Amino acid sequence: MGLKARFVKKMLSTVGKRDFQQLIDKEEQLTQVTNTYQSVEDSPKRFEIVFEAIEYPADKLKLFSSLRTMKKIPSIIRNITKSLTSINNNPKEPKDMINDDFLQRFEEYAKSLNVASVGYTKLPSKLIFKEKAVLNNNAIVLTMEMDREKIEQAPSDKTATMIMKTYDELGKASNKLTEFIREHGYSAQAGHPLGGLVLYPPLAESADLGYRGKHGLIITPEHGSRVRLTAIYTNIQNLPFAEKNQYTKVQEFCEKCFRCVRKCPGFAIRDYPIQNENGLLTHIINKNCFPVFLEYHGCSICLKECPFSRVKYSKLMKQFNTQSLDPDLV
């Protein structure tokens, strides 16, 4: 085992394990708060990546192999902690109705923080991870673009570093936007893109921000699969909740493509849906995905290979609808 591998293993086994266990303890405290929205029997269980990484052979663990990647972890932990503890800053008697001016200023502020798109939806309890809870079921879903050039280098140390940077930036944006909501008299709880309390891709789909591909990720019209997700949970009752999804054509495209299925090095993406124990449909075999994720710098090959990550959404769908799709893309 090399010196760097031993250092990473030690950091994960001591500082990482301690800090993430403290976060889980804070999440547990939230489940004890009255009138919160709790997980249900068929809710999915969250994959605890840090604890899985601790048990993984150090010489194979490439996800945290870069010091540049490791440097982002303290900031990420601080912002996850803030998302959980800052709920104490909510107003005692919050308002619950907004006007168009507030919504416009909120979305402009989000854009200034490099948020790519914003959507609104009700949070189904079955999307809350097992034994987790959130304050409210009115969800504001946020996306943030991941750098295309770095995604094209996946799997690589540079890709992993960029992904951790995006996690960090989106986590900070979520906290800042939550503070904005509170400052205007409303109650809100920030979610974080890493280790969130909710399964984000179907929530983003419900918010009409895109549609899930076979790789399980949301495909957006702005940046294809090259986005990270988070959400803010608020008491605001009159958000412009999405009534239907306008990107269902993506599913038809995926049924003709299968590029992510073919390119996955772990054979973790099936060309047919699998029903999990909780009833949710997926094409992903987790036990095949996570070893590759840990060993190959967070992998991201399915993001890279997705045609929507490389070609503008409108152009790709026009080609698909007119049966003039470039065969090299799929």
3-state secondary structure 71-119: CHHHHHHHHHHHHHHHHHHCCCCCECCCCHHHHHHHHHHHHHCCCCEEE
Q: What is the DSSP letter of 15?
A: I
Q: Helix (H, G, I), strand (E, B), or coil: what is residue 198?
A: strand
**How many Cβ atoms sit within 10 Å of the Cβ of residue 184?**
16
Q: Report the C-alpha gap between 222 and 29 in whole angstroms.
A: 37
Which pLDDT does position 62 carry in this prediction?
Answer: 79
The phi, psi pair for 196, rounded to 5°, reads -70, 170
Residue in the structure block whose two tokens are 């026009």: 318
The answer to which of 54-58, 119-123, 298-302 has the lowest mean pLDDT is 54-58
Task: Give 241's pLDDT tier (boundaries 50, 70, 90).
Answer: very high
- Sign (positive/negative) of CA torsion 188, 190, 191, 193? positive
The pTM of this model reads 0.95
Inter-residue contact 33 to 133 (CB < 8 Å): yes
Residue in the structure block whose two tokens are 């045609």: 307
3-state helix, strand, coil in the chain (%, to 5): 50, 15, 35
Q: What is the DSSP letter of 196?
A: -
Per-residue model confidence as pLDDT tens digits over 290-324:
999 989 999 999 999 999 999 999 999 999 999 88
The answer to which of 66-75, 187-196, 243-252 has the lowest mean pLDDT is 66-75
Type and span of the H or E element at 18: helix 17-31
Which pLDDT does position 109 carry in this prediction?
Answer: 99
Task: Give 240's pLDDT tier (boundaries 50, 70, 90).
Answer: very high
Which pLDDT does position 4 carry in this prediction?
Answer: 64
Task: Give 3's pLDDT tier (boundaries 50, 70, 90).
Answer: low
Inter-residue contact 290 to 47 (CB < 8 Å): yes
The answer to which of 151-165, 187-201, 273-287 has the lowest mean pLDDT is 273-287
Which pLDDT does position 5 carry in this prediction?
Answer: 63
Average pLDDT value for residue range 156-179:
97
Q: Which neighbouring-strand residues pair with 219?
A: 211
Is beta strand 188-190 parallel, antiparallel or unpaired with respect to 227-234? antiparallel
Which pLDDT does position 9 carry in this prediction?
Answer: 67
Residue 278, pLDDT above cutoff 60: yes
Nearest to 211 by CA among 237, 165, 242: 242
Which pLDDT does position 270 carry in this prediction?
Answer: 95
Q: Report the C-alpha gap between 112 and 126 in whole angstroms.
A: 32
Instruction: Locate the domains of the chain by residue range.
Output: 3-234
**How many Cβ atoms sit within 10 Å of the Cβ of residue 274?**
11
Q: Which neighbouring-strand residues pair with 145?
A: 227
Tell me what the pLDDT averaged over the chain comes to. 93
Per-residue model confidence as pLDDT tens digits over 185-219:
999 999 999 989 999 999 999 999 999 999 999 99
Which pLDDT does position 17 carry in this prediction?
Answer: 82
